[in-house]
A and B are shown apart, each in its own frame.
Chain A
Amino acid sequence: MEILMIIIAGILFMSATYLMLSRSVVRIILGTTVLSHGVHLLLLTMGGLKRGAPPLIGEEASAYSDPLPQALILTAIVISFGVTALFLVLGYRSYKELGTDNMEKLRGNDGND
């Protein structure tokens, strides 16, 4: 199972990279979301996917799944959400102000460098 998950994470990374390298601002933002999914899955996988009860004491089970990666991922999800929301608004504003979503056109102009 872990190997499959690692491959899936790799595919997510691949498509995220491809999206982030594109010229469309929207695609770049979507790429960051996809990238964070890949990271979260990788984190979970690296913690080990052994079957056990959910990390709740009330379950009275002999083995639990590892709670630490879950806590880390939870933090990461919230942070990446905050960042995505900011990016989205930034993209929206820049599209409104500048009238393009093409990164090639959004270079600093030569007069300012």
Chain B
Amino acid sequence: MSLLHLAIIAPFIIAVFVPLIYKNIKSVHTGWFILPLPILLFIYFSSFISKTTNKQVTMESFSWISSLGIDFTVKVDGLGLLFALLITGIGSLVILYSIYYLSKQKEKLNTFYVYLLLFMGAMLGVVLSDNLIVLYAFWELTSFSSFLLIGYWYNREKSRYGAQKSMIITVLGGLAMLGGIILLYNMTGTFSITEIVAQADTIIDHPLFVAALLCILLGAFTKSAQFPFHIWLPDAMEAPTPVSAYLHSATMVKAGIYLVARMSPVFAEDTLWMGLIIAFGLFTLFWGSFSAVKQTDLKSILAFSTISQLGLIMSLLGVGAAALHYDQPKYFTVATTAAIFHLINHATFKGSLFMVVGIVDHETGTRDIRKLGGLMNLMPITFTIAIIGTFSMAGLPPFNGFLSKEMFFTGMINALHMDFDWSIIIPIIAWIASVFTFIYSMILVFKTFTGKYQPEKLEKKPHEAPIGMLISPIILASLVIVIGFFPNIIKPILVPAIETVMPMYEFDVHISMWHGFNTELVMTIGVIIVGVLLYLGLNKWRGIYGIFPEKLALNRFYDGLLDSMYKGSHSLNRNVMTGSINHYLSYMFLFMVVLIIGSLFGQNAFAFSTDNLAPIHFYEVILTLIVAISSIALLFAKSRIVSILLTGTIGYMVSLLFIVFRAPDLALTQLVIETISVSLFLLCFYHLPKKLTDDPVPVKVRNAVISVGVGLFVILVGLTAHSTKLFDSISQYYIENTYSEAAGKNMVNVILVDFRGFDTMFEIAVLGIAALAIFSLIKLRRNGGKKIENK
């Protein structure tokens, strides 16, 4: 266990002590005790920057289940470090923000910080694990802690709904990912990512390769809210705002991005990988930005914006993967750079925007843009931060979003170099989505802070937030500006991360604010002009959202699917589990008949031979005829006495058959037992119903068909078994040794008590148990032996 392991496990350890702190130190907000941890971790992880810039990879292993190849191996490379810094850095800011956001008096802070720490540790585990099974374990832990955090206000119906939805969708993807991991293990024989990457060239032709690829992608798409799995993210906005800022914008939703980036060296050799990521990413980009415009809730706008931006990053990773397939890879590698760069930028501006929305919500009591407006003069600092965040999101200079948007356009234009007829639509969709991004960004800031101030619609009298709440968004907003003006200061983090995604190329990243007058700039100017025009005319064209039928909405589909699954299994259960023993027996018999007759003929196993038959005598024919006639007559007997007597007849005939077939002990036992059975039946005679309940005719027909089938299968199996005797009986041993070994002359009895005495012992036990059971059935009554009136 190294210090690195300790760093990942530290949040879990602290989480154990949170309830203790909360219970014992009431005067101080619990968050203050948590805050040092992510800061320390951030400082600790910062110390790795110098190593990763020199392409040094730190690996530490801790033995867990070595026999299965599962070890807690931690690896710090460029990509892992970038994410670790995001997690701890934004984690610190979010915890600071939550201290002011969550009230010490009203909220259960202990659970909140336990969940948040669980999440932080899990997320660190996801990005730093080198072992896929460990990664999966942490991955599910992030889903789980996200579930707990979304349902933090568990008294609210919507929180529970959102938590359940996100759980179902992300766990679905998580399980698919586990499948992909196992397939990868099948192909490579290792769970270690490093070793799998080393074998990447050999597994591409493996038949399981495509299946593994699809499974891993499904995991990544569900976690990162790609279309059509994005529907959980808007509902996850029921979580407290610090959680939305942390999990659902900056870290957890990027776990899927991380996975795609991490697995790129393995899968990018296949064009399917590239195609799927570009297609899903682009559509998500468009759909997210298109849907964001129609939202009226600030957090919903941000949720759809997150979806859209995740799609953007995803599609950039896809275009980056094209470098492996076409000449002149430098056209495409710029897309990978843009993806990683935008990942950082998005975390900064989206985090600050969520916090701004949280402040607005906190100070006014609503997040509905129809009620808000004119807050500019009341909350000048918040307004400034919002301006910085949204302008960066819209891709305007001089903020960092502008730089990554320009690089995004470069990447998308370079996608035209792909040898693919429809590649022109890639930059077009990207451009349209950017226009929508511009529009919702403007809605977000201007509908909230400018326009008419409507104090009558607000629950509280708004005023500027306390300084503590503003610190975190201010830090993030200043990062937005600093990265915007001096993008090269993050190069030490950026470049190693990109090189991890595409280890085969050299990257010389130089991002500058002014990169000349080129197509990208024209596109951005176009976005601004069209965006402004559309924003001003918003009321005129908003109607197009009404055209889109609500029925086709994916949420409807999801709800309907869950509902029909519930109803379907319920009605299936209703129809199959009827509670009627006759039905169950029918299923069993039918299954038996179909399976055995089917396999008898399906395997061509049926055999029939007339060798080795004993001769038939008249006497036996008579006996068997009586058995056959009485057993068939039994089926038509209506009264109890006839049924009992016919059964007795069969029993006595069987004992006569035993005599014929030279089995005196059997005949004796059968005779005695049949007599007792018949007397038992007669003893109960008066208590049995006079006329036996009869079945309706259709049931009779069904039963007849099934029973003829059973009879037939017994005959067929019997004939086959008799005709294929493979070896002689072992009975010769008993016949020879009965007297010499066991001193008895009756072979059957010697077998029963000597050779196979155990059987007899337990058969005695069976009789004893039956006797006890009968005794207690008769003796023990529900009403203490009182007679119950006949109903």
Contact = CB atoms under 8 A, between A and B. Distances in A.
Interface of A: 1-24, 26-28, 30, 33-34, 37-38, 40-42, 44-58, 64-68, 70-71, 73-75, 77-79, 81-86, 88-93, 95-104, 106-108, 113
Contacts of A82: 766-767, 769-771
A73 B666 contact: yes
B714 A42 contact: yes
A41 B628 CA distance: 13
Interface stretch (B167-175, B493-501, B518-526, B741-749): B741-749
Interface of B: 578-582, 585-586, 589, 610, 612-617, 620-621, 624, 627-628, 631-632, 634-635, 640, 643-644, 647, 650-651, 654, 657-658, 661-666, 669-670, 673, 676-677, 680-681, 684, 687-689, 692-695, 699, 703-704, 706-708, 710-712, 714-715, 718-719, 721-722, 729-731, 734-735, 738-739, 744-748, 751-752, 756, 759-760, 763, 766-767, 769-771, 773-774, 777-778, 782, 788, 790-791
Given A44-B658, A65-B661, A3 B719 contact: yes
Contact of B731 (A49, A67, A85, A97): A67
A92 B640 CA distance: 13
A30 B688 CA distance: 13
Contact of A66 (B624, B688, B729, B771): B729
Given A2-B614, A95-B688, A21 B731 contact: no
Given A34-B647, A81-B676, A104-B580, A54 B662 contact: yes
Contacts of A41: 654, 657
Given A5-B624, A41-B657, A64-B747, A70 B663 contact: yes
B665 to A, nearest CB: 6
Contacts of B669: 74, 77-78
Given A50-B614, A66-B729, A57 B739 contact: yes
A19 B96 CA distance: 76
Given A26-B643, A34-B631, A68-B734, A18 B704 contact: yes
B614 A1 contact: yes
Which of B643, B650, B663, B669 has most A Cβ within 10 Å?
B663
Nearest to A38: B714
A10 B624 contact: no
27 contacts: A6-B715, A6-B719, A10-B711, A10-B715, A18-B703, A22-B695, A22-B703, A24-B693, A26-B688, A26-B689, A37-B651, A37-B654, A38-B714, A40-B666, A41-B657, A46-B718, A46-B721, A55-B735, A57-B739, A67-B747, A67-B751, A71-B751, A71-B752, A77-B669, A78-B763, A82-B771, A83-B770
Contacts of B663: 44, 54-55, 65, 70, 73
A6 B766 contact: no
A42 B710 CA distance: 14
Contacts of B650: 12, 34, 37
A30 B654 contact: no
Given A17-B589, A33-B647, A82-B770, 16 more contacts: A1-B615, A4-B616, A11-B711, A12-B631, A18-B635, A24-B692, A30-B634, A37-B651, A48-B612, A54-B662, A56-B747, A78-B669, A82-B769, A86-B777, A98-B791, A101-B693
Which of A14, A56, A64, A98 has most B Cβ within 10 Å?
A14
Contacts of A11: 627-628, 631-632, 711
A84 B729 contact: no
Contacts of A56: 664, 745-747
Nearest to A101: B689
Contacts of A89: 684, 773-774, 777-778
Contact of A57 (B670, B684, B747): B747
B710 A93 contact: no
Contacts of B748: 55, 67, 70-71, 74
Which of B613, B654, B694, B760 has most A Cβ within 10 Å?
B654
Nearest to B744: A57
A41 B459 CA distance: 87
A23 B216 CA distance: 54
Given A23-B693, A83-B770, A97-B788, A47 B729 contact: yes
Given A21-B703, A67-B731, A107 B689 contact: no
B580 A103 contact: yes
A66 B731 contact: yes
Nearest to A58: B745
Contacts of B632: 11, 15
A44 B677 CA distance: 22
B621 A4 contact: yes
Contact of B707 (A15, A104, A106, A108): A15
Contacts of A38: 714
A13 to B, nearest CB: 4
Contacts of A15: 631-632, 634-635, 707
A96 to B, nearest CB: 6
Contacts of A2: 612-614, 722
Given A67-B731, A93-B778, A78 B684 contact: no
Contacts of B631: 11-12, 15, 34
